[in-house]
């Protein structure tokens, strides 16, 4: 069996936020579960680079677009690595293999008569990079970008004959009821299909950043039409027919609920036009809100997943995203709730169970546990939970899978309370019974760790090591290893606390503290000699006072200001820093006209390495409060403070 799994590819005009991470993490859980089931799996992620927003962001930074995309690729890969995403392939839409696939599909579709020239006139949301019909707008605005005004565009475009495929799409939905999940998404799309489809623009005129149409090279392929093709490009379309044969059609596209229309209407129609089979399934996941608000960079409600993972490590975040949000529905994240779940599920429950087990095994049996007990009721509960886990995971009810795995943990804790090993240990007549109880708890922990392995890969590998599981993690198989097994002996291994309890109070004098908590791994009785286990305490990323003092903040006075040509945001300042004058380029032009800047007393970072912005060398950085999606406000000090004064 084979399984080709993809996520949406991301625009690189900003770093991934927690919502982006949610999609990658949950898809990674599916990929790892698939491998655990012994299915040959090809898991693909990537970046969507031919976006005008990406192009603009690069120009703002004075960078060649491709060089900018190269930088962003490193940023994205670093976050995905931190979150332990196990992708097999990472595609970028500027790669030759993608360009070949896009041009091939466009040509095949053109030759089939499905692409024709016309004039597009209508609304366009620059942030979505999507054409909008009047009925899509709310109060004249894109509902996803209520702070922006859509543009009215009239240009000569090539159109894709989407309307031609309406009946075939309806038939496909009828014959494949599971094509789009969850059902609520399916119903939305069916209503849309029943209302009829219009042809869509598939090219843009007058742009250089994109893939030229093979039959009209003055036009580039519209970024959405371009992006969807990444899935077959990665599978070898146009470059490796053997690979395509092996991996296409995809088993599952995991995408956000806002782009299911592109993936279940436009994309299948493009594939039909090109004579290619359709993906087997599309899953439209919900959104992670932040404190009840939609997470969005432009709305200023975005959370950096690297910050969250920096707090307790990647696995607790992966667990939260999988277990606390019904897959397919919207969910919510707050740091308070996250910390609470960490303490409940990990510090107090699973982590404590592992510590207690190893401590008792050491105290009563010198870490070697044998012979097995009867299993009894615990064995039965474990096997039932494992079955429920599998039936949930098989239909992408990831939250129910995670909950089933945690019922094994609960059952093991209850079993310890009922059997009271410490009481058994008092009477030598109970020696065999005590060994059996310890073995059975070990067995329950082993099954729980196998079930949770796709969700918390590195912690579960560590748990399996500590309870003496000899099979390498990559060789574990759900069918064989996620069921009760009695026999032999278990050699347990000591280690530091997996998830020390977080005691940090979040509110410290007003604003909540978003920094990683300073944690000392707590020594648990009998269980801990720090041996440097993989899942030890998260790193403290705060700065020392010495680190901070390396940043030289100084008061400066603006002597001169002029707009930077061809840039909306940048302004060139000549400033007085006390004993010298220098030039700084600052991104504040939208908030301050040049003449309003002259004479102002501002604060700068004085010891920054020079950087070139739009060809101008900038020496330092101006400090401003910069709300996401809003205009910057300069940090100011009283005019009486002399230029050059240190700020600290």
Query: At its nearest, how many Å lie between Zn ion and the CB of residue 213?
Result: 25
Q: Which is nearer to Zn ion, 137 or 598 (CB)?
A: 137
Tokens for 515, please give them. Answer: 């920094």
String of contacts with Zn ion for each residue 518-557, x by CB under 5 A: ----------------------------------------
3 strand-pairing partners: 41
Kindly give, in sequence order, each residue whose CB lies less than 8 Å from that of residue 310, ignoring residues fewer than 6 positions away.
516, 538, 539, 541
Alpha-carbon Rg for the chain, nearest whole angstrom, is 29
CA–CA separation, 14 and 303 (whole Å): 12
Whichever of 298 and 458 has its CB closer to Zn ion, that residue is 298
* Torsion (CA) 529, 531, 536, 540 in degrees, nearest 10: 90
Question: Closest distance between Zn ion and the C-beta of residue 626, in Å?
Answer: 22
Smallest separation, CB 132 to Zn ion (Å): 7
Based on CB atoms, which residue is closest to Zn ion, 258 or 491? 258
Within residues 145-164, the interface with Zn ion by CB under 5 A covers: 145
Alpha carbon distance 236, 64 (integer Å)? 28
Nearer to Zn ion, 148 or 647 (CB): 148
Exposed e or buried b per residue across 68-77, where buried means at least 16 C-beta atoms within 10 angstroms of its C-beta:
bbeebbeebe
Cα 259 to chain center, whole Å? 16
Residues 615-644 that bind Zn ion (CB under 5 A): none
Least CB distance to Zn ion at residue 195 (A): 21
d(CA 639, CA 463) in angstroms, rounded, equals: 61
As measured in angstroms, the least distance from the Cβ of 17 to Zn ion is: 16
Rounded to a whole number of angstroms, the minimum distance from the CB of residue 23 to Zn ion is 18
Q: What is the 3-state secondary structure (H, E, C) of 221-265?
A: ECHHHHHHCHHHHHCCCCCCHHHHHHHCCCCEEEEEHHHHHHHHH
**Least distance from C-beta 42 to Zn ion, angstroms?**
32
- Provide, rounded to whole angstroms, the least separation between the CB of residue 145 and Zn ion: 4
Q: How many residues bind Zn ion (CB under 5 A)?
A: 6
Tell me, residue by residue from 108 to 147, as one string, x for binding to Zn ion by CB under 5 A and - for no binding: -----------------x-xx-------------x-xx--
**Which residue's CB is nearer to Zn ion, number 126 or number 205?**
126
Name the strand (E) or helix (H) holding 616: strand 616-618
Beta-ladder partners of 603: 555
The Cα 259–Cα 248 span in angstroms is 21
Contact 125, 53 (CB under 8 A): no
Nearer to Zn ion, 144 or 445 (CB): 144
Strand 89-92 and strand 40-48: the pairing is parallel
Rule CB under 5 A: which of 436-475 touch Zn ion?
Answer: none
Task: Choose between 142 and 244: whose C-beta lies nearer to Zn ion.
Answer: 142
Q: Which of residues 256-295 bind Zn ion (CB under 5 A)?
A: none
Helix orientation angle between 431-452 and 457-466, rounded to the nearest 10 degrees: 160
Q: Cβ 125 to Zn ion, closest distance in Å? A: 3
> Residue 125 or 244: which CB sits closer to Zn ion?
125
**Per-residue contact string for residues 68-107; x = within reach of Zn ion by CB under 5 A:** ----------------------------------------
- Which residues of this protein are in contact with Zn ion, per CB under 5 A? 125, 127-128, 142, 144-145
């Amino acid at each position: 069996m084979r399984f080709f799994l993809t996520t949406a590819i991301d625009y690189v005009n900003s770093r991934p936020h927690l919502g982006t991470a949610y999609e990658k993490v949950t898809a990674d859980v599916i990929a790892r579960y698939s491998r655990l089931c012994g299915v040959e799996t090809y898991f693909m992620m990537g970046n969507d680079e031919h976006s005008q927003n990406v192009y603009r962001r690069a120009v703002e930074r004075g960078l060649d677009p491709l060089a900018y995309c190269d930088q962003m690729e490193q940023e994205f890969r670093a976050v995905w690595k931190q979150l332990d995403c196990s992708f097999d392939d990472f595609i970028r839409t500027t790669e030759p293999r993608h360009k070949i696939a896009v041009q091939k599909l466009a040509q095949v579709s053109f030759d089939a008569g499905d692409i024709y020239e016309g004039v597009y006139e209508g609304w366009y949301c620059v942030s979505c990079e999507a054409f909008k019909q009047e009925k899509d707008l709310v109060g004249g605005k894109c509902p996803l970008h209520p702070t922006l005004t859509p543009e009215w565009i009239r240009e000569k475009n090539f159109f894709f004959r989407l309307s031609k495929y309406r009946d075939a799409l309806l038939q496909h939905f009828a014959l494949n009821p599971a094509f789009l999940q969850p059902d609520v998404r399916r119903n939305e799309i069916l209503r849309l299909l029943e209302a009829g489809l219009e042809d869509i623009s598939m090219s843009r005129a007058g742009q250089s950043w994109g893939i030229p149409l093979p039959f009209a090279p003055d036009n580039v392929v519209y970024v959405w039409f371009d992006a969807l093709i990444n899935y077959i490009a990665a599978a070898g379309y146009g470059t490796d027919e053997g690979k395509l044969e092996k991996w296409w059609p995809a088993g599952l596209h995991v995408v956000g609920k806002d782009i299911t229309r592109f993936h279940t209407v436009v994309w299948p129609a493009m594939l039909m036009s090109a004579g290619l089979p359709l993906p087997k399934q599309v899953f439209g996941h919900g959104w992670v809100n932040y404190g009840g608000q939609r997470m969005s960079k432009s709305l200023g409600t975005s959370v950096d997943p690297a910050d969250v993972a920096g707090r307790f490590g990647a696995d607790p975040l992966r667990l939260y995203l999988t277990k606390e949000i019904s897959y397919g529905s919207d969910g919510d994240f707050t740091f308070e709730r996250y910390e609470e779940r960490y303490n409940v599920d990990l510090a107090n429950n699973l982590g404590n169970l592992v510590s207690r087990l190893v401590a008792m095994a050491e105290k009563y049996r010198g870490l070697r546990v044998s012979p097995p007990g009867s299993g009894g009721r615990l064995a039965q509960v474990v096997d039932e939970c494992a079955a429920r886990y599998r039936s949930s995971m098989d239909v992408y009810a990831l939250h129910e899978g995670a909950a089933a795995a945690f019922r094994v943990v609960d059952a093991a804790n209850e079993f310890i309370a009922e059997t009271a090993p410490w009481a058994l240990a008092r009477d030598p007549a109970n020696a065999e019974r005590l060994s059996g109880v310890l073995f059975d708890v070990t067995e329950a922990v082993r099954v729980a760790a196998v079930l949770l392995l796709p969700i918390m890969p590195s912690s579960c590998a560590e748990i399996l090591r500590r309870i003496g599981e000899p099979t390498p993690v990559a060789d574990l198989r759900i069918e064989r290893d996620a069921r009760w097994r009695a026999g032999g002996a278990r050699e347990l291994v000591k280690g530091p606390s997996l998830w020390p309890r977080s005691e940090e109070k979040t509110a410290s004098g007003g604003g909540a503290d978003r920094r990683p908590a300073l944690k000392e791994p707590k020594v648990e009785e009998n269980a801990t000699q720090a041996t440097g286990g993989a899942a030890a305490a998260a790193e403290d990323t705060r700065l020392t006072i010495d680190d901070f003092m390396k940043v030289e903040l100084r008061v400066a006075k603006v002597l001169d200001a002029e707009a930077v040509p061809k840039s909306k945001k940048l302004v060139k300042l000549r400033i007085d820093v006390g004993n010298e004058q220098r030039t700084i380029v600052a991104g504040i032009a939208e908030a301050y006209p040049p003449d309003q800047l002259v004479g102002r007393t501002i604060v700068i970072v004085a010891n920054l390495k020079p950087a070139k912005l739009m060809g101008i060398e900038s020496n330092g950085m101006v400090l401003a409060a910069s709300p996401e999606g809003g205009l910057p406000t300069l940090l100011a000090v009283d005019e009486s403070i002399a230029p050059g004064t240190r700020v600290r």
